[in-house]
Amino acid sequence: MKELENKVALVTGAGRGIGRAISLALAQEGATLILTGRDLEALNETARLITDLKRGPAPHVSQMDILDSTEIQRCINSALEIFGHIDILVNNSGITGKSARLWELTEAEWDECIDTNLKASFLVSKAVIPSMLVRKSGSIIFIGSITGKRPLIDRSVYAASKLGMVGMMRTLALELGRHNIRVNLVSPGFVEGPRLDGVIAQVAKNEKVSPQEMNRQWLEMIPTGKFITPENIAQGVLFLASERSGSTTGEDLNISGGLVMYS
């Protein structure tokens, strides 16, 4: 029997990057996937990759704006009508935000990052939790960032959004523990891919060095000397979603190659 057989998992931002890797890892263990996000084409590609695995039920694709509470509730209600329950929620959607000194950020840039990374996780969790309370069962996983704990130049708004997630996660873990609902968070380090390349390029421009030099400096900070892969993050999520972590709640799991060694 596969580890997550008969479990239903909803992943936000499932269309690419970390969200896609998480979805594939959960599907590999037999979970039924509800793939959500704004980019329907990308979601359909993730669904195709899951179908090709031939490891479990066909995924369900639901285009959803994570900042529209009405649309979120519609998506959750539809999923519950189809599957009856949601066992695993992965709050993965997010943006990198603008890389700039705090005093150079506009109010709109600040709000966009805080809303997309923090408020959206609140809205989606708020919509899913009542159904978990009825069943007295569930696992909620937030995708945070080591940037919420280890300062990086030009990353103030992103850091604020991700550290806010830690506070929300731990409070939820305290509130939901008696209902047999676990709540945890994964803090990725520097995850290789287009988003990291974009952040490095922006910070390099601000610091007046080449992207190659900034890339070298960031790699030098990591004890293992290499960036993290989306698949590394997916394995951490799989652990927290499964009964292997049955007594784990309120934890902040660093997957950073040793860049951060504290919670």
pLDDT digits (tens, 9 = 90+) for 18-40: 999 999 999 999 999 999 999 99
- Among the residue ranges 39-43, 53-57, 67-71, 167-171, the one predicted with the least confidence is 53-57
Q: What is the pLDDT of residues 189-206, one digit of tens each?
A: 999 999 999 999 999 999
Rounded Cα gap, residues 69 and 191, in angstroms: 29
Q: What is the pLDDT of residue 263?
A: 83
Nearest to 15 by CA among 54, 52, 41: 41
Provide Rg for the chain, Cα atoms: 18
Residues with catalytic annotation? 158
> Which of these, 235, 28, 66, lies nearest to 141 by C-alpha position?
235
Q: What is the pLDDT of residue 122?
A: 98
Instruction: Please name the residue that has the structure tokens 């008969």.
Output: 6
pTM over 0.75: yes
- Angle formed by the axes of helices 230-241 and 17-28, nearest 10°: 50
pLDDT at 226: 97
Per residue in 56-85, pLDDT tens? 889 999 999 999 999 999 999 999 999 999
Instruction: Indicate if the pLDDT at residue 1 is higher than 80.
Output: no
* 102-156: pLDDT as tens digits: 999 999 999 999 999 999 999 999 999 999 999 999 999 999 999 999 999 999 9
pLDDT in tens, 212-257: 999 999 999 999 999 999 999 999 999 999 999 999 999 999 999 9
What pLDDT is attached to residue 54? 87
Structural domains of the chain, with CATH? 8-190+229-255 (3.40.50.720)
